[in-house]
């Protein structure tokens, strides 16, 4: 695909998406998110050779929040294998909000998928028991195409405000679905949610996903192809919270969002990243969804395209 075609699509899709920001609102889960400028929108697209085409607030830093669930899943699969990971967590959509507690009590011990909070905490518990934070952060540097860091202020606020996450973890521990070191698991979970990235980092991640696990900038294999296949399947079915079906229809892209305003997606050979902190009622970026849907239409990126 010619660079000029991609550049034109990025710019026109950004302008289109910018017109919808006033129907969203920033997350007020923690004060730092509540203070974010809702008018921001940054978009980036990376090609297989590492070239990046960006527009708007693509270099603005924000905490990746639930996008960290993709990191946790890929790294857990890489170091532990599919069997050990999916012995602890399922791979099915729920249709419920990402922080729902009900089915933990009524539907057995195993969370439905790795992208709801209960499932992500479970995957993170495996990492806490089998890896060091420094190793996970080194993995993040490779996935995002550069050094990234934990925002300690966001981490502290997450830890104080995450009462539902504490409840989930202790409930799962009481049922035998989680180990005893609940505080260690959640400290790691909150730290990964608080890692700062930008839309260009997310586009690099998307291009790595599109490229079968290889970095678009260095050519290094970060994860094996089977990890990518598994991860993209769950992104397509579960990555946009309980709005995943609507997004599959409108954009048709494996994607993952976070309440910090980010969305990472992969379309064909391209990696896509957006930052738009104005969220819809499901917790997904309004501008990000509009951008992804429009550029997917313009460039024919949907996995369901004929």
Mean pLDDT of 24-47: 97
Q: How many Cβ atoms are within 10 Å of 130's Cβ, its own excluded?
A: 13
| Rounded distance between C-alpha atoms, residue 91 and residue 109, angstroms | 14
Fold for domain 68-193?
A: Beta-lactamase (3.40.710)
Task: State whether residue 56 is helix, strand or coil.
Answer: strand
Cβ atoms 269, 280 nearer than 8 A: no
Which residue, among 206, 121, 207, has the nearest Cα to 171 in the 3D structure?
121
Mean model confidence pLDDT for the chain: 94
Of the pLDDT bands very low, low, confident and very high (cuts 50, 70, 90), residue 195 is very high
The predicted pLDDT at position 45 comes to: 98
| Rounded distance between C-alpha atoms, residue 243 and residue 234, angstroms | 14
Which phi and psi (to 5°) does residue 276 adopt?
-155, 100
E strands, 39-143, are 42-46, 52-56, 62-63
Which residue, among 1, 2, 21, 3, has the nearest Cα to 291 in the 3D structure?
21
Both structure tokens of 153: 């202020």
| Rounded distance between C-alpha atoms, residue 239 and residue 234, angstroms | 7
Between the alpha carbon of residue 270 and those of residues 46, 115, 204, the distances in Å are 6, 23, 9
The predicted pLDDT at position 98 comes to: 54
Both structure tokens of 266: 């992969």
The predicted pLDDT at position 227 comes to: 98
The predicted pLDDT at position 92 comes to: 86
| Lowest-confidence region among 17-31, 163-177, 214-228 | 163-177
Q: Which CATH number fits domain 3-65+195-298: 3.40.50.720, 3.20.20.120, 3.40.50.2300, 3.40.710.10?
A: 3.40.710.10
CB contact burial 252-282 (16+ within 10 A = b; e otherwise): bbbbbbbbbbbbbbbbbebbbbbbbbbbbeb
| Rounded distance between C-alpha atoms, residue 170 and residue 199, angstroms | 34
For 58-109, write each residue's pLDDT tens digit. Answer: 999 999 999 999 999 999 999 999 999 999 999 988 755 555 555 555 455 6
pLDDT at 184 over 70: yes
Of the pLDDT bands very low, low, confident and very high (cuts 50, 70, 90), residue 140 is very high
> What pTM does this model have?
0.95
| Lowest-confidence region among 63-72, 87-96, 176-185, 247-256 | 87-96
E strands, 84-194, are 149-150
The predicted pLDDT at position 101 comes to: 54
Domains 3-65+195-298 and 68-193 belong to one CATH topology: yes
For 112-127, write each residue's pLDDT tens digit. Answer: 899 999 999 999 999 9
The ranges assigned to domains in the chain are 3-65+195-298, 68-193
Of 36 and 107, more confident: 36
- Tell how far CA 102 is from the center of its chain: 23
């Amino acid at each position: 695909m010619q660079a000029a075609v991609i550049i034109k699509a990025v710019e026109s899709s950004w302008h289109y998406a910018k017109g919808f920001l006033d129907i969203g609102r920033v997350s007020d889960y923690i004060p730092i998110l509540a203070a974010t400028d809702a008018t921001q929108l940054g978009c980036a697209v990376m090609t297989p050779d590492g070239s990046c085409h960006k527009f708007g607030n693509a270099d603005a830093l924000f905490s990746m929040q639930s996008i960290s669930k993709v990191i946790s899943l890929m790294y857990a699969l890489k170091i532990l294998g599919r069997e050990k990971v999916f012995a602890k967590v399922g791979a099915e959509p729920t249709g419920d909000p990402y922080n729902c507690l009900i089915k933990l009590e009524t539907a057995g011990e195993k969370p439905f998928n790795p992208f709801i909070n209960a499932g992500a905490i479970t995957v993170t518990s495996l990492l806490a028991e089998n890896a060091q934070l420094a190793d996970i952060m080194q993995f993040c540097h490779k996935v995002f195409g550069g050094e990234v860091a934990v925002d300690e202020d966001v981490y502290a606020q997450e830890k104080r405000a995450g009462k539902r996450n504490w409840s989930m973890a202790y409930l799962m521990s009481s049922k035998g679905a989680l180990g005893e070191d609940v505080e260690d698991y959640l400290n790691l979970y909150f730290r990964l949610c608080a890692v700062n990235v930008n839309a260009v980092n997310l586009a690099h991640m998307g291009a790595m996903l599109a490229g079968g696990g290889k970095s678009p900038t260095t050519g290094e294999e970060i994860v094996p192809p089977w990890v990518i296949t598994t991860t993209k399947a769950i992104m397509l079915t579960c990555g946009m919270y309980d709005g995943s079906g609507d997004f599959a229809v409108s954009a048709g892209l494996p994607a993952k969002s976070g309440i910090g305003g980010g969305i990472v997606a992969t379309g064909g050979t391209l990696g896509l990243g957006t930052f738009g902190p104005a969220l819809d009622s499901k917790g997904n970026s309004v501008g990000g969804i509009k951008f992804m849907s429009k550029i997917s239409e313009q460039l024919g990126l949907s996995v369901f395209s004929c």
